[in-house]
């Protein structure tokens, strides 16, 4: 099933710095904790566009710069 990320819709937020107290998965699939990360909220659209849900994404600064 294909999916698409909407970064500039309603209830979407830009990257902001947070501290990962508990393990989280970054956008590249790494599990990190006790680390300064960046977090944003985006919408993900599944299938043909009829099902959307908000998700939180986490990334390190290097992952943001590489994407």
User: How many CB atoms are located within 10 Å of the residue 58 CB?
Assistant: 19
Residue 19, phi then psi, degrees to nearest 5? -115, 130
Residue identified by tokens 């300064």 is: 36
In this model, does residue 49 exceed pLDDT 70?
A: no
- Reduce the DSSP state of residue 45 to 3 states and report it: strand
The model carries a pTM of: 0.84
How confident is the model over 3-33, as pLDDT tens digits?
A: 788 888 777 889 999 999 999 999 999 999 9
- Binned at pLDDT 50, 70 and 90, residue 63 comes out as very high
Q: According to the model, what pLDDT value does residue 45 have?
A: 86
- If one compares 17 and 49, the residue with the highest pLDDT of the two is 17
Task: Measure the N-to-C terminal CA separation of the chain; round to a whole number of Å.
Answer: 23
């Amino acid at each position: 099933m294909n999916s698409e990320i909407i970064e500039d819709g309603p209830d979407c937020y830009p990257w902001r710095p947070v501290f990962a107290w508990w393990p989280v998965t970054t956008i590249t699939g790494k599990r990190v904790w006790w680390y300064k990360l960046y977090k944003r909220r985006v919408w993900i659209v599944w299938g043909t566009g009829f099902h959307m849900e908000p998700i939180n994404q986490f990334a390190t600064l290097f992952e943001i710069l590489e994407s």
